[in-house]
């Protein structure tokens, strides 16, 4: 078996999907877990991007169906988490409106992140490191601060935290370990970016969100495809088992091997 085949099998990506079947399967997955955990609903952080919009649509379908089927009230809570002023936060609100989310709130992480950065920089002085946090380092603090706030809310409201990681990100380790990689459920995990776009269209995600440049928003100007050095089209081709340029294949496989620790459980002795 080639490494490409091993990666595809590990991440569970299909060469093509039946969109309606995939939506139904993922909605049922969410419903089953909510019931088994005796939770009262789902929490999804809506960044304004494609992945969180699709996850929000699936969550809303799941909790609506649970409410109809059980007669109990189940909630999908949409959380907006800007760092100061977020230029595209209008897309977060647009997603919530598109799916009719009755429960939304905003938690601005700027003060929290800046205070953590100051404390870390102060601490590093004790070991002779007189510098600011790196741009990626502070970006990771943002991801972890967002997750802390999500879990504070989920604990108080008895909700499960839904993540947006998918195979096209996972192959490159494109999520912050124990930040946005620490969630209760990952309903998109076996989909590539192309398949997520297909599901987005079927769910009714606004076109302005489907067509926007993918970014995790961890620092100004951050762009997933530029950072990865591979387009999501080539990434999706690879995960569907199609041949790609050897240089692209080498880059993706190198990322996968280098970031294995992000996908693995905490090692135990």
- Residues classed as catalytic: 51, 169
For 104, the 3-state DSSP assignment is strand
CA distances from 187 to 163, 200, 260 (A): 7, 13, 20
For 162, the 3-state DSSP assignment is strand
**Angle between the N-to-C axes of helices 19-36 and 193-203, in degrees from 0 to 180, rounded to the nearest 10:** 90
Which of 196, 180, 110 lies closest to 140 in space, CA to CA?
Answer: 180
CA distances from 178 to 34, 84, 118, 167, 264 (A): 22, 23, 21, 18, 12
Task: Extract the tokens encoding 78.
Answer: 């949409």
Task: Give dist(CA 210, CA 117) in Å, integer.
Answer: 33
CA distances from 145 to 76, 175, 231, 266 (A): 21, 14, 29, 21
């Amino acid at each position: 078996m080639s490494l490409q085949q091993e990666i595809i099998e590990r991440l569970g990506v299909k060469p093509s999907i039946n969109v309606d079947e995939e939506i139904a399967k993922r909605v049922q997955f969410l419903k089953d877990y909510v019931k088994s955990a005796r939770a009262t609903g789902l929490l999804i952080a809506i960044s304004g991007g494609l992945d969180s919009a699709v996850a929000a649509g699936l969550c809303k379908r799941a909790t609506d169906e649970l409410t109809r089927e059980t007669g109990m009230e189940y909630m999908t809570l949409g959380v907006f988490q800007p760092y100061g002023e977020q230029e595209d936060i209008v897309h977060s609100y647009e997603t919530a409106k598109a799916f009719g989310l009755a429960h939304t709130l905003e938690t601005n992480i700027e003060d929290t992140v800046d205070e953590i950065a100051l404390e870390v920089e102060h601490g590093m002085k004790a070991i002779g490191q007189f510098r600011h946090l790196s741009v990626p380092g502070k970006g990771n603090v943002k991801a972890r601060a967002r997750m802390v706030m999500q879990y504070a809310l989920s604990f108080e409201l008895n909700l499960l935290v839904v993540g947006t990681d998918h195979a096209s990100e996972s192959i490159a380790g494109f999520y912050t370990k124990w930040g946005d990689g620490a969630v209760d459920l990952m309903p998109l995990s076996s989909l590539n970016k192309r398949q997520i776009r297909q599901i987005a269209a079927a769910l009714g995600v606004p076109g302005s969100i489907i067509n926007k440049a993918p970014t995790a928003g961890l620092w100004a100007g951050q762009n997933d495809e530029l950072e990865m050095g591979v387009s999501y089209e080539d990434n999706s081709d690879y995960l569907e088992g199609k041949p790609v340029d050897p240089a692209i294949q080498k880059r993706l496989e190198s990322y996968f091997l280098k970031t294995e620790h992000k996908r693995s459980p905490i090692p135990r002795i």
